[in-house]
Amino acid sequence: MTIAPKEFDFQVARLRLERKAKSASEKLTTLEAAAARVNDGDHVAIGGCLYSRTPLALIWALLRRRPRGLTLSRNLMSYEGEWAVVAGAADKLVTSWMGIGLPWGLSRIQREYVESGRLEFEEWSHLALGLRYRAAAMGVPFLPSLTMLGSSLMDVGGSKTVECPYTGETLHAVPALFPDVALLHVHRADRFGNGQIDGYPHMDADLARAATTVLMTAEEIVSDDEIRRHPDRTVIPGFAVDALVHVPYGSYPHECYGRYDAEPAHFTVYVDGIKERGAAGVTDYLERYVYAPRTHADYLALFDEAARRDAAARARMLTT
Amino acid sequence: MTIAPKEFDFQVARLRLERKAKSASEKLTTLEAAAARVNDGDHVAIGGCLYSRTPLALIWALLRRRPRGLTLSRNLMSYEGEWAVVAGAADKLVTSWMGIGLPWGLSRIQREYVESGRLEFEEWSHLALGLRYRAAAMGVPFLPSLTMLGSSLMDVGGSKTVECPYTGETLHAVPALFPDVALLHVHRADRFGNGQIDGYPHMDADLARAATTVLMTAEEIVSDDEIRRHPDRTVIPGFAVDALVHVPYGSYPHECYGRYDAEPAHFTVYVDGIKERGAAGVTDYLERYVYAPRTHADYLALFDEAARRDAAARARMLTT
Amino acid sequence: MTCTANELLAVMGARALRDGITVFAGVGAPLMATALAQRTHAPTLTMMMEGGILGPSFKPGDLPISTNEMRAAYHAQMLPGISDAFLLAQRGFLDVGFIGGAQIDQYGNVNTSVIGGYDRPKVRLPGSGGANDIISLCREVMILTVHEKRRFSERVEFVTSPGYLSGGDSRRKSGLLFGGVSRIVTTLGVFDFEPESRRMRLTALHPGIAVADVQANTGFEVLVSADLATTEPPTDKELDILRMLDPKRQFIG
Amino acid sequence: MTCTANELLAVMGARALRDGITVFAGVGAPLMATALAQRTHAPTLTMMMEGGILGPSFKPGDLPISTNEMRAAYHAQMLPGISDAFLLAQRGFLDVGFIGGAQIDQYGNVNTSVIGGYDRPKVRLPGSGGANDIISLCREVMILTVHEKRRFSERVEFVTSPGYLSGGDSRRKSGLLFGGVSRIVTTLGVFDFEPESRRMRLTALHPGIAVADVQANTGFEVLVSADLATTEPPTDKELDILRMLDPKRQFIG
């Protein structure tokens, strides 16, 4: 059993949340100040999915602080998981799948680190991990489900079953996962942290409720009035958000629905580095893209501006 | 214990759903044909909340068929519950609260019928009833919650508790409620039944997933393309919908967010009838508003057209 | 200025709300109290309504009569829906909840369901609505009510919304791990609960009210705090704001 | 026309989809199969993608490489999100699901996690993703895969996605009350599962393939159906549609 009581203990998780200020006040800050809220050893849950709406700006700022002993969880883990492992920031990943996508093959870093015993890899089914976040978002220690029953995945985290008191059937009691921190990137927010997402929502709304501390970047900071004009588009309540940073292209070169497309060519260059030099390829990449640029603007400047404009044009075409 | 296995048996409920056609085909039909899908003895769950987005056109069509032995459930029950009881259509109501609102006092019909033993009234907390629908929507027989614990409400429906296999804590195992039929009114849908709601969603999305048969009216039928332009606004999947009817003012004189305001003056006239003549006031009302008008247009014509236009103007002012 | 019962409740309720918190409030006095607090000492307080409405603005003169209507959602910040609003409370996001009460006992248990047996009651009341959820799930709950003897009885026959149940740690033992009733504000005074027994205890009297008045209007023995205080009467500013919000006096009476 | 392995899988997968059903499909061959079926005999079939995407249209020449991107959501009808998409399957709304498989055993169990012990595996594979959920929750599941001996082994060391477990009623006994693998389409033929033992059974061979070819490429004894059929080769029309959808042959090879 690798799940720890801290992950599913809803009473302790609630008391942590009760102590947090939930005031409708200014949440705007810098990437640096936001990232400083993550402590060594924290469980950090990452929003978006695979190469979509990944909070890359927050991950960039976090890795620059050279954190240690983190556990990262995400529904489908992309290369941010490789970064954290190779950077020595994380020693445990919790996810249902790791890679980038079909054209790039398996994650060689995942293989190499898991097979050599340097990385703990806790695997759940995609829905089970989603239900872990949702149980936490609902403030309960588990949710019943049929998924994962009968599979070897039941043993990985230490899943237990529960008997339905009405029907007598046995269900998977999917344990809650209350992360210490959630990192999210959304389309727009007001300065109080009320956040709106366009397109597929992934699991971000659940993450914002499940975590004790919520760090969020937004493509756009809009007025209070603008949020109030479309309150039915708000999916993250301001009182859940601890730090908000305005970061256009905050998940680039991953995609942001309707704003910019992903850059598969960049993924290929990244993966080629690993194919050629293994983990050293990641180290080189981190040096160039994470540690060298002193600001997020410097980071973005490493990408071709015409490519960014083109990614934006593709996104508009794909969503209209 | 008044909850029946039919309500929480997720296996049987799933098999009922598996037998249903889920084709992406035309769902448009008439109110009469939609209402004909309700059978005597069915559990009918009603969408909206109190006097908001009540599927009154569907209820109108249903009552005209003089059904018998229905159980009606709704989060907060408004006068549609009184209608069904006085009309002899329903002998059991499942809800958390019954009335119209502060200015109109208690529901005298609820009092009279419950106190005289003519009506079974199954009370749940507002959230517990919401979780009953949600458990069903998720396809599970119960959801754990802290709500209702310690209260006398635990005995009303026959609630059981469940021990969390991780923390050992005892939680309320809120039993699923799989209705036979859900009646819903939404803002817009395409002819395949993909439905969109503006403003507060109430519990309609859960009802659409929980019920075996879904009957839906929409203020507006839009093109397939229009739905596809804003897929992130769709909350009811077409494959869940069995019958769809185009009914502008489909919840009038209850409100529909952004479209028309409610008509409290009409509620007052209705309640005055009850104050004066008891259940006979409802009988008279049903005669005039439900049984006499032969079409829904005839029903709407009983209301002042200027009042309807004014209700629409108020709604615009309150939502812009 | 003199004031009505509901104005008194709204003012005393408002004063008990700290800035920067989240409040689960229904229509009537709770809404008035919360809106007043936002306009005085608590500008960063966030309000949630049972209709699944977060951070509403209210249009003066056009306040909602139910928590599920456009006036309740006027220029709101988020519309999560009913179940998800309560689930935010279950998660611990809601600091203070308000409920009313047809019948309240000395342990803060509230009955809004039935007088007499459940199946064939002498009086059928409207039911819990969200009151049971608010009292079960918010960090603390405040009850605002007119003080009448028939409302305050030694025990309620039916616990719709659990206060401290039979006192002591019985609430927690029932599985309600969080929250509880922290305060009852009535038209006569303010009450908390004695920490050991969890019985209602008078902590402050409104101006001009004596302990004997409270006892005469209460159906059980009233505990009185050692440091019994007297509340400050509503100020002109407070009343002006309430009357600005409700010029037709639909809610403040 | 001659065709590639992936074209063969897409065509055979498409033919197995009835009109009017709902299909949970991922990128690659499952997407091609579903899109082809919609464009031939199943115009009222609805597709769900794992990214929480319902009823997508696809832009010919610009197909998605993941189920969580704009190409997968192009002109979709609904975007319920990942968890809610799977929960619709748990409720029973999804008729057919597709999964792939790194390693498949004779009971249709699939391993995409580890070769060797879990904690210190010989080979670490990418993991379940939604495959476990699809095989656990859809009414029936179809597997499309290249037929290679190393993929079809007598037993999988790790059951990422449960087929019929150890056969018989063991799947149901494990708590998986619904669904199961109904069909495996490979580059050599089509399989179902013998109803009693729940062992993989060859029901049809693709043109030009012999039973011996199948046995030679399978790591366990192949059961053969009494009424073994031969599939009709892909038609020009089917291949034209696939090639229209994927002119750059990113997915059809």
pLDDT of A173 above 90: yes
Inter-chain CB proximity D159 and A150 less than 8 Å: yes
pTM equals: 0.98
- DSSP-assigned letter for residue D17: P
Instruction: Give the integer Cα–Cα distance in Å for A152 and C25.
Output: 47
Name subunits touching A (3+ CB pairs < 8 A).
B, C, D
- DSSP-assigned letter for residue C99: E
Q: Does the residue C94 lie in any domain?
A: yes
Q: Does the residue D229 lie in any domain?
A: no
D196 is a catalytic site residue: no
Among D residues 199-218, those touching chain A with beta carbons less than 8 Å apart = none
Which domain does D14 fall in, by range? Answer: 5-209+236-245
Instruction: Give the integer Cα–Cα distance in Å for A162 and A142.
Output: 10
Query: Nearest C-alpha of chain C: how many angstroms from A42?
Result: 20
pLDDT tens digits for range C177-233: 999 999 999 999 999 999 999 999 999 999 999 999 999 999 999 999 999 999 999
B173 contact residues in A (CB cutoff 8 A)? 164-166
Residue among A10, A167, A197, A318 with most chain B CBs within 10 A, to mutate = A167
pLDDT tens digits for range B174-223: 999 999 999 999 999 999 999 999 999 999 999 999 999 999 999 999 99
Q: Once rounded to an integer, what is the mean pLDDT over residues A212-218?
A: 98
* Nearest alpha carbon to residue B135 among B40, B14, B53, B253: B14
Q: Which residues sit opposite A308 in a β-bridge?
A: none
Place of tokens 């029309």: D237
pLDDT of residue D141: 98
Q: Give yes or no for a cis peptide into C207 (omega within 30° of 0).
A: no
CA distances from A211 to A134, B147, C35, C54, C86 (A): 11, 22, 29, 20, 18
Q: Does the residue C19 lie in any domain?
A: yes
Instruction: Report the domain count for chain D.
Output: 1
* Chain B contact present for D73, CB below 8 A: yes
Residue among D63, D118, D128, D157 with most chain A CBs within 10 A, to mutate = D128
pLDDT of residue A16: 96
Other C-beta atoms closer than 10 Å to the C-beta of C59 total 15
What is the rounded radius of gyration, in angstroms, for the C-alpha atoms of chain D?
A: 17
Please write down the HEC assignment for all residues of chain B: CCCCHHHHCHHHHHHHHHCCCCCCCCCECCHHHHHCCCCCCCEEEECCECCECCCHHHHHHHHHCCCCCEEEECCCECHHHHHHHHCCCEEEEEECCEECCHHHCECHHHHHHHHCCCCEEEECCHHHHHHHHHHHHHCCCEEEECCCCCCCHHHHHCCEEEECCCCCCEEEEEECCCCCEEEEEEEEECCCCCEECCCCCCCHHHHHHHCCEEEEEEEEECCHHHHHHCHHHEEECHHHCCEEEECCCCCCCCEECCCECCCHHHHHHHHHHHHHHCHHHHHHHHHHHHHCCCCHHHHHHCCCHHHHHHHHHHHHHHCC
Query: Nearest C-alpha of chain B: how many angstroms from A229?
Result: 6
D126 contact residues in A (CB cutoff 8 A)? 97-99, 106-107, 110
Q: Does the residue C217 lie in any domain?
A: no
Q: Does the residue D92 lie in any domain?
A: yes
> How many Cβ pairs closer than 8 A exist between chain B and C?
184
C137 contact residues in B (CB cutoff 8 A)? 127, 146-147
pLDDT of A273 above 80: yes
Instruction: Give the integer Cα–Cα distance in Å for D139 and D128.
Output: 19
- DSSP-assigned letter for residue C204: E
pLDDT of residue B1: 64
C139 contact residues in A (CB cutoff 8 A)? 18
Q: What is the CATH number of the domain that holds C156?
A: 3.40.1080.10
* Nearest alpha carbon to residue B151 among C111, C83, C100: C111
Inter-chain CB proximity B166 and A145 less than 8 Å: no
Instruction: Let me know if chains A and C touch, i.e. at least 3 Cβ pairs under 8 angstroms.
Output: yes
- The strand pair at C22-24 and B234-236 is best described as unpaired
Q: Which regions of chain D are under pLDDT 70?
A: 1
pLDDT of residue D44: 97
Query: Nearest C-alpha of chain A: how many angstroms from B201?
Result: 8
Minimal Cα distance from B189: which residue of D? D77
Inter-chain CB proximity A142 and B164 less than 8 Å: yes
Q: Could you tell me the two tokens for B258?
A: 């952004």
pLDDT of residue A42: 98
A139 contact residues in B (CB cutoff 8 A)? 146
Q: Where are the beta strands (DSSP E) in chain C?
A: 22-24, 46-49, 53-54, 96-99, 103-104, 110-111, 114-115, 123-124, 140-145, 181-186, 189-193, 200-205, 223-230
B14 contact residues in D (CB cutoff 8 A)? 91-92, 177-178
Please write down the HEC assignment for all residues of chain A: CCCCHHHHCHHHHHHHHHCCCCCCCCCECCHHHHHCCCCCCCEEEECCECCECCCHHHHHHHHHCCCCCEEEECCCECHHHHHHHHCCCEEEEEECCEECCHHHCECHHHHHHHHCCCCEEEECCHHHHHHHHHHHHHCCCEEEECCCCCCCHHHHHCCEEEECCCCCCEEEEEECCCCCEEEEEEEEECCCCCEECCCCCCCHHHHHHHCCEEEEEEEEECCHHHHHHCHHHEEECHHHCCEEEECCCCCCCCEECCCECCCHHHHHHHHHHHHHHCHHHHHHHHHHHHHCCCCHHHHHHCCCHHHHHHHHHHHHHHCC
* Chain B contact present for C69, CB below 8 A: yes
Cβ atoms of D167 and D107 closer than 8 Å: yes
B127 contact residues in C (CB cutoff 8 A)? 82-83, 86-87, 90, 130, 133, 137
Please tell me which of the candidates C52, C121, C128 has its beta carbon nearest to residue B96.
C128
Inter-chain CB proximity D175 and A161 less than 8 Å: yes
Q: Which residue ranges make up each domain of chain B?
A: 5-253
Per-residue pLDDT of chain C (253 residues; tens, 9 = 90+): 689 999 999 999 999 999 999 999 999 999 999 999 999 999 999 999 999 999 999 999 999 999 999 999 999 999 999 999 999 999 999 999 999 878 999 999 999 999 999 999 999 999 999 999 999 999 999 999 999 999 999 999 999 999 999 999 999 999 999 999 999 999 999 999 999 999 999 999 999 999 999 999 999 999 999 999 999 999 999 999 999 999 999 999 8
Query: Nearest C-alpha of chain B: how many angstroms from A3?
Result: 10
Q: Does the residue C151 lie in any domain?
A: yes
pLDDT of residue D2: 87
Residue A1 — pLDDT band, cuts 50, 70, 90? low
Minimal Cα distance from B107: which residue of C? C126
ipTM: 0.98
Q: Any idea what the Cα angle at residue C181 is, between residues C175 and C187, rounded to 5°? A: 155
Minimal Cα distance from D63: which residue of A? A318
Element (H, E) at D205: strand D200-205
One-letter amino acid identity for B194?
A: N
Q: Does the residue D215 lie in any domain?
A: no
Sign of the torsion formed by the C-alpha atoms of B243, B248, B254 and B258: positive
- The strand pair at D103-104 and D110-111 is best described as antiparallel
pLDDT of residue A258: 98
The overall average pLDDT reported for chain A is 97
Cβ atoms of B122 and B91 closer than 8 Å: no
Residue among C45, C49, C78, C140 with most chain A CBs within 10 A, to mutate = C78
Query: Nearest C-alpha of chain C: how many angstroms from B33?
Result: 30
A101 contact residues in D (CB cutoff 8 A)? 27, 65-66
- The strand pair at C110-111 and C103-104 is best described as antiparallel
Other C-beta atoms closer than 10 Å to the C-beta of A303 total 16
Q: Does the residue D199 lie in any domain?
A: yes
Give the CATH superfamily of A5-253.
Answer: Glutaconate Coenzyme A-transferase (3.40.1080.10)
Q: Which regions of chain B are under pLDDT 50?
A: none
Inter-chain CB proximity A145 and B146 less than 8 Å: no
